[in-house]
């Protein structure tokens, strides 16, 4: 390139963010470190720098903020999503993680070498492109780049994911690359927004983040789905099914806390609604009864949905998600007692026996009857976890709630008021056949200043799948773990 080394202005280091070290510090014009061999399969065609070919500094930017640079020359770093050519023009669709932009390469406006380069570029080749930003209402993001220069970081090998149809097994085997596709990208950006909005909401409501351990000595949600580990001396340890028991200790210490982290269920079922590793958000509050967490749940869920509607319109559009289906998610949500839900099921052709928990069929039917999430409360105590408090009016019922998302998505939240009486809790442990020693610390919470307290767990992937309108939970997490999937 044109500028003699002595005349070069210094280029700020952060211009190189994300560019491998070998292309930056001390590398020669072909990306070689002094005395090192040329990196294998790396074809560095031009040097990367913050300069254009005349030696002027060029601002590096990202696709999402490129609108600030209309009629200016900028540099974009990313990957080639697709390309097409038409006579003396090449159209490169470049994605940089924040969005995609069309870069237009016109034969007479770039050097012959740069123009020739475009024909060697393969899908997902990494590159740095400088050009002038044009506002163009016809292009997807509203802007286009008139290319003046291209720097190739690597010419990619044949990319396995092509625009043709691939089966789910193939795509899951290539999940590490599939993440780059527009649909997956949109889902995971929405996931990020959901988590950000949840934190924002709970912080505003006075909850503090309280991280629960993953390795635990006891079962929280029954012993049938426990993941056992064999490591601790003379003791069994399990991967956490829920952070709740620890969140209860947190609530007694801080008043209002929430946990957010991975949880594990050795589910032997292969449904589209179950993962073996999933993320759960679990608020827990002292001096709170069932009523209090019903309001908290409906406010939280509406906040999540409206935050996605506000900040992730583009992503919802990519997914073809009907906005009106989400716009109707406003509190209050319908509240139905289990007994009344049985009537509702009967009217719709499902005869469900009292005392049994609802399964997928029941959840799906009920959730299809409403345009917003519905809260089912007061399930039979016998079907629910050992820690739930029973209703003082009807001791056979639990003070609990399941929140079912509409359109047949089913349960996204499970929660309850907790048993705060020491003796009753001891009795419940026995009824559930649970050993006492691993729960001694938990019983302490009922010995030292026990108060009414309540909380719930919101499944992140279930919520994201519903908001995105996707069928299967496996696309709602970067790397899904299921009964038959541990790779990649
Ligand atoms: O209803 P669950 O089992 O409730 C609990 O774990 C309580 N300890 C939570 C609490 O009160 N703090 O699970 C809560 C939510 C479900 O409503 C669902 O959204 C999600 O976690 N969930 C799963 N998501 C994906 N795959 C699975 N196998 C899931 N199991 C539960
Ligand atoms: Mg549940």
CA distances from 418 to 207, 386, 421, 425, 457 (A): 18, 9, 9, 9, 13
Q: Is 407 left (phi over 0), alpha (psi -120 to 50) or beta?
A: left
The Cα 427–Cα 409 span in angstroms is 35
Q: Can you say how many angstroms the Cα of residue 93 is from the centroid of all Cα atoms in its chain?
A: 26
* φ and ψ of 366, to 5 deg: -60, -45
Residue 23: the pLDDT is: 41
What are the residues whose beta carbon lies below 5 Å from ligand 2 (ion)? 414
Looking up tokens 């491998």, which residue turns up? 20
Ligand nearest, relative to CA of residue 416:
1
* Cβ burial, residue 90 (10 Å; 0-12/13-18/19+): buried
What would the DSSP string read from start to end of 289-354?
A: -HHHHHHHHHHHHHHHHHHHHHH-HHHHHHTT--HHHHHT--SSPPEEEHHHHHHHHHHTT----T
The Cα 154–Cα 263 span in angstroms is 38
Q: Is 39 left (phi over 0), alpha (psi -120 to 50) or beta?
A: beta
CA of 141 to the centre of ligand 1 (A): 38
Q: Is the CB of 459 under 6 A from ligand 1?
A: yes
Residue 219: the pLDDT is: 87
In contact, 87 and 115? CB cutoff 8 Å: no
CA distances from 143 to 63, 146, 165, 316, 442 (A): 9, 10, 29, 20, 58
Ligand 1, atom nearest to 403 Cα: 17
Q: Is the CB of 410 under 6 A from ligand 1?
A: no
In contact, 414 and 402? CB cutoff 8 Å: yes
In contact, 276 and 264? CB cutoff 8 Å: yes
Q: 226, 242, 360, 453: which to mutate for ligand 1, most atoms within 8 A of CB?
A: 242
Helix (H) or strand (E) segment spanning residue 411: strand 410-417
Q: Can you say how many angstroms the Cα of residue 165 is from the centroid of all Cα atoms in its chain?
A: 24
CA of 181 to the centre of ligand 2 (A): 32
Q: 212, 226, 280, 399: which to mutate for ligand 1, most atoms within 8 A of CB?
A: 280
Residue 25: the pLDDT is: 37
Q: 288, 292, 412, 414: which to mutate for ligand 1, most atoms within 8 A of CB?
A: 414
The Cα 397–Cα 2 span in angstroms is 80
What would the DSSP string read from start to end of 82-104?
A: EEEEETTEEEEEEE-SS-EEEEE
Residue 54: the pLDDT is: 64
Rounded to two decimals, the pTM is 0.89
The residue whose CA is least distant from atom 9 of ligand 1 is: 457
The Cα 181–Cα 179 span in angstroms is 6
What would the DSSP string read from start to end of 210-228?
A: -PPPSEESS-SS-STT-EE
Residues 6+ apart with CB under 8 A from 52: 58, 73, 130, 148, 149
Residue 391: the pLDDT is: 98
The shares of helix, strand and coil residues in the chain, as percent rounded to the nearest 5, are: 30, 25, 45
Q: Is the CB of 290 under 6 A from ligand 1?
A: no
Segment 3-17, tens digit of pLDDT: 333 333 333 444 444
The residue whose CA is least distant from atom 21 of ligand 1 is: 459
Ligand nearest, relative to CA of residue 458:
1
When computed from its CA atoms, the radius of gyration of the chain, rounded to whole angstroms, is: 28
In contact, 330 and 302? CB cutoff 8 Å: yes
Strand, helix or coil for residue 48: coil
Residue 247: the pLDDT is: 98
Could you list the beta-strand ranges (E) of 42-182: 59-61, 73-86, 89-95, 100-106, 126-135, 143-154
In contact, 454 and 387? CB cutoff 8 Å: no
Helix (H) or strand (E) segment spanning residue 281: strand 277-286
Q: Which DSSP letter does residue 139 get?
A: S
Strand, helix or coil for residue 255: coil
Residues 6+ apart with CB under 8 A from 194: 304, 307, 308, 460, 463, 464, 467
CA of 11 to the centre of ligand 1 (A): 50
Segment 436-453, tens digit of pLDDT: 999 999 999 999 999 999
Task: Please identify every stretch of the chain with a pLDDT value under 70, giving residue numbers as ranges.
Answer: 1-56
């Amino acid at each position: 390139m044109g500028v003699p080394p002595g005349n070069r202005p210094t280029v700020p280091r952060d211009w190189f963010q994300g560019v491998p070290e070998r292309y930056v510090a001390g590398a020669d014009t072909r990306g070689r470190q002094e005395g090192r061999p040329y990196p294998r399969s790396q074809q560095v065609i031009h040097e990367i720098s913050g300069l254009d070919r005349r030696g002027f500094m060029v601002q590096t930017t990202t696709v999402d903020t490129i609108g600030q640079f209309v009629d200016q020359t900028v540099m974009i770093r990313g990957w080639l999503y697709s390309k097409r050519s038409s006579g003396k023009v090449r159209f490169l669709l470049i994605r940089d993680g924040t969005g995609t932009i069309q870069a237009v390469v016109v034969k007479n406006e770039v050097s012959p070498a740069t123009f020739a380069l475009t024909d060697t570029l393969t899908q997902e080749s990494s590159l740095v492109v400088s050009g002038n930003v044009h506002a163009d209402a016809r292009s997807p993001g509203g802007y286009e780049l008139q290319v003046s220069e291209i720097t190739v970081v690597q010419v990619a090998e044949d990319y396995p994911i092509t625009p043709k149809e691939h089966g789910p097994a193939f795509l899951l085997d290539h999940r590490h690359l599939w993440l780059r596709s527009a649909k997956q990208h949109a889902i995971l950006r929405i996931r990020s927004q959901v988590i950000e909005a949840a934190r924002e909401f709970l912080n505003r409501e006075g909850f503090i983040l309280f991280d629960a351990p993953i390795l635990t000595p006891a079962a929280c949600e029954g012993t049938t789905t426990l993941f056992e580990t064999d490591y601790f001396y003379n003791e069994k340890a399990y991967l956490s099914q829920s952070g709740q028991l620890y969140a209860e200790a947190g609530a007694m210490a801080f008043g209002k806390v929430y946990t957010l982290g991975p949880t594990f269920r050795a589910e032997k079922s292969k449904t589209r609604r179950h993962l073996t590793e999933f993320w759960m958000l679990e608020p827990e509050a002292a001096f709170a009864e069932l009523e209090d967490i019903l309001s908290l749940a409906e406010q939280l869920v509406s906040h999540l949905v409206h935050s996605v509607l506000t900040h992730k319109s583009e992503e919802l559009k990519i997914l073809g998600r009907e906005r009106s289906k989400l716009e109707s998610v406003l509190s209050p949500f319908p509240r139905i007692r289990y007994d009344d839900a049985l009537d509702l099921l009967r009217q719709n052709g499902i005869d469900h026996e009292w005392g049994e928990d609802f399964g997928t069929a029941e959840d799906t039917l009920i959730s299809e009857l409403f345009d917003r999430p519905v809260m089912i409360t007061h399930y039979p105590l016998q079907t629910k976890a050992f820690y739930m408090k029973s209703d003082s009016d009807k001791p056979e019922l639990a003070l609990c709630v399941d929140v079912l998302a509409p359109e047949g998505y089913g349960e996204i939240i499970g929660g309850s008021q907790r048993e705060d009486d020491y003796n009753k809790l001891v009795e419940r442990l026995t009824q559930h056949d649970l050993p006492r020693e691993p729960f001694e610390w938990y019983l302490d919470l009922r010995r030292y200043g026990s108060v009414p307290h309540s909380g719930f767990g919101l499944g992140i992937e279930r919520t994201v799948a519903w908001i995105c309108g996707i069928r299967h939970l496996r696309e709602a997490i970067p790397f899904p773990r299921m009964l038959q999937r541990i790779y990649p």
